[in-house]
Structure 1
Amino acid sequence: MNTLTHLFRHLWLDADDAHRAIGSDGLARLEARITESESAHSGQICLCIEASLPLRYLWRALRHGEPIGEVLRDRALTTFGKQRVWDTEQNNGVLIYLSLAEHHLEILADRGLARLVPNEEWQAVVKESSRSLHAGHLEEGLALALDGVHARLARHYPASDEESAARENTLPDRPILR
């Protein structure tokens, strides 16, 4: 893809586009899916949909030739920190980050879960979800990613009934749109 196409796509999109792409009903279904998932394990899931990269990130790809995948991974890491996904009691928070402009998905797990789930497993979830995302089925792709994250959290951090009732929800279940 040429440089101008990248630039215009990122300059054109904003958080309203992310909302329109999934819709209010779709966002509500994704939020409900996160809430339901978190009742079955002690982990926390944060879903962030970013319409376009901030210019300082985009500049790295366009001007300095850094591969867009690396720039998006770095942006996901920054989002992981800013949303405090690392700040869960058992270090088992997970960020699902979607760049709408690039239809690029990243899944980042905190260190407790990352020790238990190899990167290859996360990449398999990303690959499966990306098929739907690239076909324009954003809600379906994100639901697949949530299901993949849920399966790993439920396997490694199952919640007892007492834990589910007493656990504090430290990250918002509502998808974050930027």
Structure 2
Amino acid sequence: MGIRRIGKHLFSSRGKVARAFPPSSLDAIERAIKASEAQHVGQIRFVVEGALDNAPLFRDQPARERALDIFSQLRIWDTEHNNGILIYVLLADRDVEIIADRGIYVRVGDGTWEDICREMESAFREGQFEAGVLRGIELITAHLATHFPNDGTGTNELPDAPVVV
């Protein structure tokens, strides 16, 4: 565990999340998720967390592990066709993780999601948080529309609104 990481998390505030993702950005992300889900039967959730709380921070919990916790807590795995996907942003680390449920994972491997994460992180480094997330959703949509096209029978099983932790 690095002192630098601890400092970034301890001195990160909710204000930092609000500056990176103001209400207008969260609304744009919600609209993008709605539009995305009209093209496929996948279920997308977006979660942004400013910084880790003390317990996970001092355990040196990686962003990937935290994303898996969030995936479980929000019950993204609990969809009829195991077609949930989480886009998780840990803002203090500027780290993006994408967790795909097993129904999606069998058709689209880890490499695809890693590439999308890196592209989003690149936009974040330039301060383009909303644009980075919208691009990520666009790329995810292309894969889900290919492998899980909307056949007219899908229902919106998960909320589309972003979650700020």
TM-score, structure 1 as length reference: 0.86
Give the whole-Å Cα distance in 2 for the aligned partners of 1:115 and 1:136. 33
Whether 1:130 and 2:117 are equivalent positions in the alignment is no
Give the whole-Å Cα distance in 2 for the aligned partners of 1:21 and 1:133. 9
Alignment map for 1:25-174 (pairs within 5 Å):
25-61=24-60, 71-160=62-151, 162-163=152-153, 167=155, 169-174=156-161
1:67: which partner in 2?
none
Structure number with the higher helix fraction is 1
Following TM superposition, the consecutive aligned residue runs of length 4 or more in structure 1 with deviations greater than 4 angstroms are: none
- The alpha carbon displacement at 1:118 in A equals 1.3
- The alpha carbon displacement at 1:153 in A equals 1.0
- The alpha carbon displacement at 1:7 in A equals 2.1
What is the identity percentage for the equivalent residue pairs of Structure 1 and Structure 2?
A: 35
Give the whole-Å Cα distance in 2 for the aligned partners of 1:96 and 1:57. 19
CA contact (8 A) 1:19 1:177 kept: no
Q: Output the amino acid matched with 1:146.
A: I
Q: Secondary structure at the match of 2:46?
A: strand
Unaligned runs of 5+ in 2: none
- The alpha carbon displacement at 1:38 in A equals 0.7
Q: Output the amino acid matched with 1:97.
A: Y
Q: Secondary structure at the match of 2:45?
A: strand
Give the whole-Å Cα distance in 2 for the aligned partners of 1:150 and 1:14. 31
CA contact (8 A) 1:48 1:95 kept: yes
CA contact (8 A) 1:96 1:108 kept: yes
Which is greater in Rg? 1
RMSD: 1.7
Give the whole-Å Cα distance in 1 for the aligned partners of 2:88 and 2:164. 10
- The alpha carbon displacement at 1:156 in A equals 0.9
- The alpha carbon displacement at 1:128 in A equals 1.5
Unaligned runs of 5+ in 1: 62-69
